Amino acid sequence: MLIFFFWCLQGSFFSVLLNFVSNWIVSKTPLKYGMALFVVLLIITMASYLIILLIGTSIVEQIQEMTQTLPRSLQNLKDQISKTSIGQALFNELPNDLGALLESRDKVMSRIVGSFSTTLGAIANFFIIIVTGIFLAATPSIYTKGFIRLFPLNFRARLREVMYKTQNSLSLWMTAKLISMLVVGIFTAIGLVILGMPMPYALALIAALFSFIPNIGPYLALAPAILIALMQGGNMFIYVLILYFGIQIVESYLITPLIEKKMVQLPPALTLFWMVLLGLLTGILGLIMATPILAARVVIIKELYVKDYLEAKKEGDAKLAKSSSVK
């Protein structure tokens, strides 16, 4: 039930993005909303088809290869650590139950990576997101008006304004994040191909997807790349580190500031806390959806609580004090 809820929530976010882009096309062209939405869906379909046609087969093959390579990479890492005096002492001090866990690392990694490949193989499940997003974006006014009618008449105009601001902020955030993911994926693929790393497209896909998760996403994407680079020998892992951190610096200090000027600003500490909280409560889906949910909540709290309650109350108290002093 919880997974279905998060799929529907992702469908809602997808509809917000479709609605935002369609309205932008309407504002720049003579097209009506329905035709603009059709154009957006057509562009997404064509782009997806071209990506699958050009590198889809390579990505699937590389992901399958990765499920076999990563366990061997972990074994290689353990062997390298065991050669050092500190590593030998460390493994000698490990408790038996932890040692047994390390011995079963192949099974653990197979489950972790296998779940990723299973998710890709079960892509039909994401049709829930796509269909929900398309239906919501096709007639957004029906759902908006229906929701607003659940509230008192004197509050509906303000609620409509807050909903518009929330949708606009969330749309800008998602647009900026998608652009950032695309840039990270392209730069990572190009860099890995130049370095001669195996499975460059699969690693680039992982880097692009994990960049959706702020703060910890890039480091999660770095882990499989480093493990595979260690198997290549030489200084490959150093080059991969430089590549990933270089891309992260460019993305954080150049690309993100350029495309997120009008975005809702999320404090990093609050974002990390919210991600950990939802991750613990709901698992990986909560971790993925934490940031867009927080972006929407920040706007709603700022408008309805800070402005309409705290600041309005402060202004009311100031006016009351002023009138009392005049008397």
Whether residue 100 is predicted with pLDDT greater than 50 in this model: the reply is no
Reported as a single tens digit per residue, the pLDDT across 34-49 is 999 999 999 989 988 8
Tell me which of 42-46, 262-266, 273-277 is least confident: 262-266
What's the average model confidence in pLDDT over 280-303?
81
* Spatial separation of the C-alpha atoms in residues 44 and 50, rounded to whole Å: 10
**What is the number of other CB atoms lying within 10 angstroms of the CB of residue 4?**
10
pLDDT for the residue 90: 59
The proportion of the chain whose per-residue pLDDT surpasses 70, expressed as a percent, equals: 76
Q: Give CA angle at 244 (56, 284), nearest 5°.
A: 65
3-class DSSP state of 102:
helix
Do 262 and 172 touch, CB atoms closer than 8 A?
yes
Helix (H) or strand (E) holding 233: none
pLDDT for the residue 103: 44
Whether residue 94 is predicted with pLDDT greater than 80 in this model: the reply is no
Amino acid at 179: I
Largest Cα span, the chain: 86
Whether residue 136 is predicted with pLDDT greater than 80 in this model: the reply is yes
Burial-class residue 31 by CB neighbours within 10 Å (0-12, 13-18, 19+). Answer: middle
pLDDT for the residue 317: 60
Helix (H) or strand (E) holding 292: helix 284-300
Q: What is the DSSP letter of 327?
A: -
3-class DSSP state of 287:
helix
Tell me which of 32-41, 106-115, 204-213, 253-262 is least confident: 106-115
Mean residue pLDDT of the chain comes to 78
The proportion of the chain whose per-residue pLDDT surpasses 90, expressed as a percent, equals: 13
Reported as a single tens digit per residue, the pLDDT across 52-67 is 887 777 777 777 777 7
pLDDT grade, residue 25 (50/70/90)? very high
Exposure b/e, 277-293, CB count within 10 A at least 16 = b: ebbeebeebbbbbbbbb
Give the distance, in angstroms, between the CA of residue 312 and the centroid of all CA atoms in the same chain. 35
Burial-class residue 56 by CB neighbours within 10 Å (0-12, 13-18, 19+). Answer: middle
**What is the number of other CB atoms lying within 10 angstroms of the CB of residue 40?**
19
More confident residue, 95 or 83: 83
What's the average model confidence in pLDDT over 318-325?
64
pLDDT for the residue 187: 93
* Spatial separation of the C-alpha atoms in residues 65 and 57, rounded to whole Å: 12
pLDDT grade, residue 115 (50/70/90)? very low
Q: What is the DSSP letter of 125?
A: G
Do 225 and 240 touch, CB atoms closer than 8 A?
yes
